[in-house]
């Protein structure tokens, strides 16, 4: 039987809204308790979770509903494999009771007889000594070895008060450090709880939108391109290409059709399916929640890793200096004073606290960061590439003109185009469908719909093939002669409008013009980014050259414009900029932006973006305002500055203490006190510095005076 399979959790005590469970599974060193705690805490109805590894217990406070209790028990009975991360064990939690007992024992040591103090002190120091020996044998010279050496030297010279005082201060320091780090984890976890979502279902032969929580087993859930599959179930109609990388790790899309089983968390890259739900409830979103938690709570940025590596290299220096001093002076007290000084504690603790606090601040300002590396990269970018539609513009296209040919009625052309594009998740399609509904037009029956990403739609109406899309799609790819509408289209483009071409049976029927308004804050946002060191701003669009240039001129601050692009063109431009030495972010919101979002150093998705875009991005804006990019940059810069200052403070202060200890000016107890006090001060500074909201976020008070708490919870 594997460690992952047994034993199960047993409820040992329960009152209304609170239960304590036990399991020997918690002794498994590979089980990431912080991750498991986060998974339980992300369940709806759960208020608080506490896990004690050595007590083998889990305490869960919840809303008292039977469904919540069942969810918790189900999760603990089926702990996901992701919760096991060998070699990723965190710092051991020190209980307040243990710290209090150690402090009392150290304070009473001078008044105790030698016959009682000696065995008690060796017993009290044994865990530190054993841990140091284990670390030395398996990991080399680390901070645990320094602690064990300092305690061991004091015990050997029968200085029991010093030995016990060092153990007590190590315990107190560990307790306060764990408390500080846990607070930063809890702040971050609060951003990761899933929000209530809506899904499309078929009821009474009609497609309607209902709250996610209203789903029941047997519901027919409808999902289209770019959407996240919200349930586990069986496909009953349609076919699609599913991206299941978040569940299985497989990067290639999987084709599913009628009769295939599908799992929640998969993203539909292409197609449209109807799924009979077999499992509903928020636990089906576990893969999605787990991905955010893993990125945000487990991963470290490259900068953090470099700081940790340098801190580890300083530990042997301290250890060697202590041994040399002992050999040269035979002064055990001086050697113990040196060995209580460690650079790595402050550096390794301040770094994750600063990063998590920064991520929490960004979240409450309206920016969700998926991991430490995203924050690190944001502070280094010099270029931002914008996809025009939905980022620099509102993405709310509106139909302005319907121009048919050969006496065809405008409403007939519009209804034909809307019928073909009714289920296409693209801003242009949504605008055409919305206009047809506003006019109350009945849509013709459509069959064999084929969505060609970034080009258009092909569908059949009464046996005739209808094409709706760009001029390039109809004329270059499908061979439709668009000359009859060329002058009309050119005139409309000069007005800054986008053009949609409509053809049937290989003959052009007319054009539909649409306009997309610029975001009112876009020009200000671009100026703010320039002030923050962004040297190059690039705009990409699938629009015609005239439309693209008109928008760029209106915005100002744009250094490059690329038009009439395909999705693969966008990713290619991103790679070209990277190869020329730029560190860049890409901002987009559509299904066809996913390749570019993945290619960029930082992928940024707008709040109304498709699920595939949100899944691909490292940064998700939670408020519909481009100025949040400048806010995110400020948070990233402040976090980087805090990390640099904490590193300098840790090295500077500990070097001073080390020098004083080397010269014999301070005792081991004073040295241990100064080291632990400096660590706590540095960690507290890291948390406080990174939790302050930047002044650039003041505009948020005007746009969301009472919505901040609800928005930051959206994943």
pLDDT per residue as tens digits for the range 85-138: 655 544 556 677 888 888 898 888 888 888 888 999 999 989 989 988 888 887
Find out whether 189 and 710 touch, Cβ atoms under 8 Å. no
Find out whether 230 and 215 touch, Cβ atoms under 8 Å. yes
pLDDT score of 55: 82
> No. of H helices and E strands in the chain?
25, 24
pLDDT score of 541: 86
Distance CA 71, CA 51 (A): 17
Q: List, for residues 406-417, the tens digit of each pLDDT value.
A: 889 999 999 999
DSSP characters for 635-670? Answer: HHHHHHHHHHHHHHHHHHHHHHHHHHHHTT-S-HHH
pTM of the model: 0.66
Find out whether 509 and 413 touch, Cβ atoms under 8 Å. yes
pLDDT score of 562: 92
Q: Which residues are catalytic?
A: 387
Q: Which residues contact 397 (CB under 8 A, 6 or more apart)?
A: 389, 427, 428, 430, 431, 498, 514, 515, 516
pLDDT score of 596: 84
Find out whether 370 and 295 touch, Cβ atoms under 8 Å. yes
Residue 442 DSSP code: P
Burial class (CB in 10 A: 0-12, 13-18, 19+), 139: exposed
pLDDT score of 671: 85
Find out whether 238 and 271 touch, Cβ atoms under 8 Å. yes
Which ranges of the chain have pLDDT less than 50?
1-6, 89-90, 194-196, 248-250, 283, 285-287, 289-290, 705-715
pLDDT score of 404: 95
Domains along the chain?
10-83 (3.30.70.100), 96-189+294-356+636-697 (no CATH), 198-287 (2.70.150.10), 367-393+518-621 (3.40.50.1000), 398-515 (3.40.1110.10)
Could you give the 3-state DSSP secondary structure of residue 617? coil
Could you give the 3-state DSSP secondary structure of residue 80? coil
Q: List, for residues 530-553, the tens digit of each pLDDT value.
A: 999 999 999 998 777 888 888 888
Find out whether 9 and 77 touch, Cβ atoms under 8 Å. yes
Distance CA 132, CA 150 (A): 10
């Amino acid at each position: 039987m594997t460690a992952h399979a047994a034993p199960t959790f047993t409820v040992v005590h329960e009152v209304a809204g609170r239960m304590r469970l036990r399991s020997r599974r918690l002794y498994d060193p590979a089980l990431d308790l912080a991750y498991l705690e986060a998974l339980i805490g992300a369940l709806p109805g759960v208020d608080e979770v506490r896990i004690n590894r050595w007590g083998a217990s889990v305490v869960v406070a919840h809303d008292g509903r039977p469904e919540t209790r069942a969810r918790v028990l189900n999760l603990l009975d089926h702990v996901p494999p992701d919760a096991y991360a060998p070699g990723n064990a965190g710092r051991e939690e020190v209980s307040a009771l243990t710290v209090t007992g150690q402090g009392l024992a150290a304070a009473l040591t001078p008044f105790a007889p030698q016959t009682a103090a000696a065995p008690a002190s060796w017993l009290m120091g044994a865990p530190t000594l054993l841990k140091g020996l284990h670390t030395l044998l398996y990991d080399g010279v680390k901070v645990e070895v320094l602690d064990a050496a300092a305690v061991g030297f004091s015990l050997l010279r029968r200085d029991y008060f010093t030995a016990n005082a060092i153990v007590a201060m190590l315990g107190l320091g560990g307790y306060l450090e764990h408390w500080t780090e846990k607070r930063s984890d809890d702040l971050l976890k609060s951003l990761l709880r899933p929000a209530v979502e809506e899904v499309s279902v078929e009821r009474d032969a009609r497609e309607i939108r209902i709250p996610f929580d209203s789903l029941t087993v047997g519901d027919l859930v409808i999902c289209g391109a770019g959407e996240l599959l919200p349930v586990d179930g069986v496909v009953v109609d349609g076919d699609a290409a599913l991206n299941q990388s978040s569940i299985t790790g497989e990067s290639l899309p999987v084709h599913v059709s009628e009769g295939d089983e599908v799992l929640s968390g998969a993203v539909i890259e292409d197609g449209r399916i109807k799924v009979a739900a077999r499992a509903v409830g928020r636990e089906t979103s576990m893969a999605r929640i787990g991905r955010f938690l893993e990125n945000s709570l487990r991963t470290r940025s490259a900068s953090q890793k470099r700081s940790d590596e340098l801190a580890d290299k300083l530990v042997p220096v301290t250890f060697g200096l202590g041994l040399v001093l002992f050999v040269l002076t035979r002064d055990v007290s001086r050697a113990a004073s040196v060995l209580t000084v460690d650079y790595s504690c402050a550096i390794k603790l301040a770094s994750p606290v600063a990063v998590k606090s920064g991520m929490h601040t960004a979240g409450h300002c309206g920016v969700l960061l998926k991991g430490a590396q995203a924050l690190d990269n944001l502070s280094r970018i010099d270029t931002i590439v914008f996809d025009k539609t939905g980022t620099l513009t509102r993405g709310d296209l509106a139909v302005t003109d319907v121009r048919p040919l050969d006496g065809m009625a405008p409403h007939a052309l519009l209804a034909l185009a809307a019928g073909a594009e009714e289920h296409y998740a693209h801003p242009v399609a949504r605008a055409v469908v919305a206009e047809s509904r506003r006019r109350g037009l009945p849509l013709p029956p459509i069959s064999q719909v084929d969505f060609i990403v970034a080009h258009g739609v092909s569908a059949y109406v009464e046996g005739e093939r209808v094409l709706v899309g760009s001029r390039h799609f109809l004329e270059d790819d499908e061979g439709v002669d668009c000359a009859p509408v060329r002058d009309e289209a050119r005139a409309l483009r000069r007005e800054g409008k986008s053009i949609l071409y409509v053809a049937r049976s290989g003959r052009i029927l007319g054009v539909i013009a649409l306009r997309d308004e610029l975001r009112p804050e876009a020009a200000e946002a671009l100026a703010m980014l320039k002030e923050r060191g962004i040297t190059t701003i690039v705009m990409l669009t699938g629009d015609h050259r005239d439309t693209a240039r008109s928008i760029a001129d209106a915005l100002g601050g744009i250094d490059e414009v690329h038009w009439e692009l395909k999705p693969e063109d966008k990713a290619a431009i991103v790679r070209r900029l990277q190869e020329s030495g730029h560190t860049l972010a890409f901002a987009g919101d559509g299904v066809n932006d996913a390749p570019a979002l993945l290619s960029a150093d930082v992928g940024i998705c707008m709040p109304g973006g498709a699920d595939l875009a949100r899944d691909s991005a490292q940064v998700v804006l939670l408020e519909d305002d481009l100025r949040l990019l400048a806010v995110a940059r400020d948070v990233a810069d402040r976090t980087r500055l805090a990390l640099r200052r904490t590193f300098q403070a840790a090295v500077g202060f500990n070097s001073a203490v080390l020098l004083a200890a080397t010269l014999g000016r301070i005792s081991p107890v004073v040295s241990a006190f100064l080291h632990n006090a400096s660590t706590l001060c540095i960690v507290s500074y890291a948390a406080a510095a990174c939790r302050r909201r930047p002044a650039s976020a003041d505009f948020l008070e005007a746009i969301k005076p009472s919505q901040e708490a609800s928005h930051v919870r959206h994943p």
